[in-house]
Amino acid sequence: MNWPFLPPWPPDINGFILFGLLMLAGLLGGELAHRSGFVPRITGFIAIGFVLGPSLTGVLTPEMLDGAQVFVDVALGLILFQLGRLLDLSLARRERSLFAAAIAEAGLAFAGVFAVLTLFDIAPMQAAVAAAIGISSSPAVVLLVVKELGAEGPLTDRSLMLVAMNNILSFLAYTALLPFIHYAHNSGWEIAVLEPLYVLGVSLGIAGVFAWLLLRLARMLPKDETTQFALLIGMVVGTVGVAQLANGSMLLSLLALGVMTRNLDRHSHVLPVDFGSGGEIFFVILFVVAGARLHLADLSSAGFAAVAFVLARFVGKSAGVMLLTRAGLDFRQSALTGLTLVPMAGMAIGLTQMTAARYPEFAATLSAIVLGAIVILETIGPVLTEYALKQSGEVPGILAGGARASSVNERQPPSDEPDGSAVMESKDA
C-alpha cells in the first residue's frame, strides 16, 4: 500500500539535521576534552569528528561532509579574516627581526622538508610543492586556543603575526611553483605563466574591492557591535562566494581582506573583530569536519615520509624563530613560539586539494604525504600550542612555567612580625 504522506525510507539527511549533528557532537567532544584538564577543546572537536567519520564508525559519510563544506568555508573565512586583521604592517616594519624570523623559519622549513623528502625518493617537483605547503601554519587552531585561554602578551601577538605571515608566504611559494608544474604537464607556456598570475591578481583584487566596500559601509553605518557583526559576516561570506565564482583563492582573498582593512582603516571605523558565539558555532563545525576527514590510511600510506615531513618542518621553524630573541623575546619564549607554529591544516588542505583537482596523478604521492602529516600535526598541534601559551605566563591565572597563580598564593612566607594573637598575649602577661 502506498501512503504518500509518509517520509521516504531510508531518510535523507538534510542540512538542518547535519548542522545539528555536527554542533552536538562537537560540544560533547569539546566538553570531554575540557574536563580532562590538560586537553584543549579543539582536540575534543577533532577527536569526536574522527570517531564519527568514515575512517571509524561512518556516522558522518563522505556525502554528509561534502554537504557541510559551506559551513567549513564560512568558518575558514571568519578565521582568516580575523587573522589578517591581526597583522599590523607598521609593527612588522618597526620590528624587522619579526619579519626576518618569518622569512627564516619559512625558508628553513621549506629547505628541511624538501631535503628529507628527496631522501625518500620523492620527485623534486613533488617535494618542492610539499615543502611550500609545509610553510603554512593553522590559523584556526592557534586563534581558537588563544581565545579559549584568553592569552595576551608579546609571545601571543608575535605567534599570531607569524601564523599570518606563514600562510601568505606558503601561498606565494606555491604560486611561484605553479608554472613549473604546468610546464611539466605540457600545459603550454600561456597556462604556465598566466594562471598563477590570474589567481594571485584576482584574489588580491577581490580583497581590495571588498576592503574598500567594507570601510565605506563601516563609515556610513552605526558604529555598534550588532551592525558591525552583520557587516563583517556579510563581507566575509561575500568574499568567499566571489572568490569561488571567479576561480580565485578564497584563502588568500580573505587573509588579504583582513590585512587591508586593518592597515587602511586609519580612523578605526571597523571595530575590533570578535565574532562571539555566532562565529563559534561555525568554528565547532569546522573542527568536527576536519576530524572526520582525517584518515589513518593517509598516514599509513605515506609511512615514514610523513613523519620525516613533520620533524623537518618543526626543526626548520624552531630554528628560524630563534631570531625573535632580537625582537623582545628571550630564548625560552622564542622556543615556545616555535611550538605555536606546529599546527597545520586549512591552507595546507586547500593547496593540496587545488593540486589534486588539476593533476591527480602528480598529486597522489604528494597528497598522501601532506595529509599524513596533517593527521599528526592536527593531533599534537593544539596540545603543544596550549602548552606553549601556558608556559609563557600570558594566560590569566597561570604563571610562567605553567603553575597556577592560586597555588602559589596559598602558601605565604613566614613573617618576622608577631601576629595579633601574640601581641595580645604579651599585653595580658
pLDDT in tens, 348-361: 888 888 888 778 88
Out of 33-47, 136-150, 233-247, pick the least confident: 33-47
Does 409 have pLDDT greater than 50? no
pLDDT at position 40 is 79
CB atoms near residue 150 (< 10 Å): 12
Residue type, 175: T
Residue type, 416: D
Q: What is the CATH number of domain 15-392?
A: 1.20.1530.20
| Domain boundaries along the sequence of the chain | 15-392
Q: What is the largest CA-CA distance in the chain?
A: 104
pLDDT in tens, 360-373: 888 888 888 888 88
Q: Is residue 222 exposed (0-12), middle (13-18) or buried (19+ Cβ within 10 Å)? A: exposed
Q: Is residue 267 exposed (0-12), middle (13-18) or buried (19+ Cβ within 10 Å)? A: exposed
pLDDT at position 315 is 94
Does 425 have pLDDT greater than 80? no
Does 412 have pLDDT greater than 50? no
Highest mean pLDDT among 72-86, 246-260, 414-428: 246-260
Average pLDDT, the chain: 81
Confidence of residue 326 (pLDDT cuts 50, 70, 90): low
On whether the CB atoms of residues 304 and 145 are closer than 8 A, the answer is no
Mean pLDDT of all residues in 117-132: 92
Q: How far apart are CA 19 and CA 67, in angstroms?
A: 10
Whole-prediction pTM: 0.78
CB atoms near residue 331 (< 10 Å): 10
Q: How far apart are CA 204 and CA 253, in angstroms?
A: 6
Provide the H-helix boundaries in 265-303: 276-292, 296-302
Q: How far apart are CA 290 and CA 66, in angstroms?
A: 12
pLDDT in tens, 261-288: 888 887 777 877 665 556 677 778 888 8
Mean pLDDT of all residues in 205-210: 94
pLDDT at position 339 is 92
The C-alpha cell that represents 100 in the structure block: 626576518
Mean pLDDT of all residues in 142-171: 88
Does 158 have pLDDT greater than 90? no
Does 414 have pLDDT greater than 50? no
DSSP-based three-state secondary structure for 404: strand
Rounded to a whole number of angstroms, the CA Rg of the chain reads 24
The C-alpha cell that represents 41 in the structure block: 577543546
Does 96 have pLDDT greater than 80? no
pLDDT at position 105 is 92
Compare 330 and 104 and report the one with higher pLDDT: 104
On whether the CB atoms of residues 72 and 289 are closer than 8 A, the answer is yes
On whether the CB atoms of residues 153 and 392 are closer than 8 A, the answer is yes
pLDDT at position 404 is 64
**Share in percent of the chain as helix, strand, coil (round to 5):** 75, 0, 25
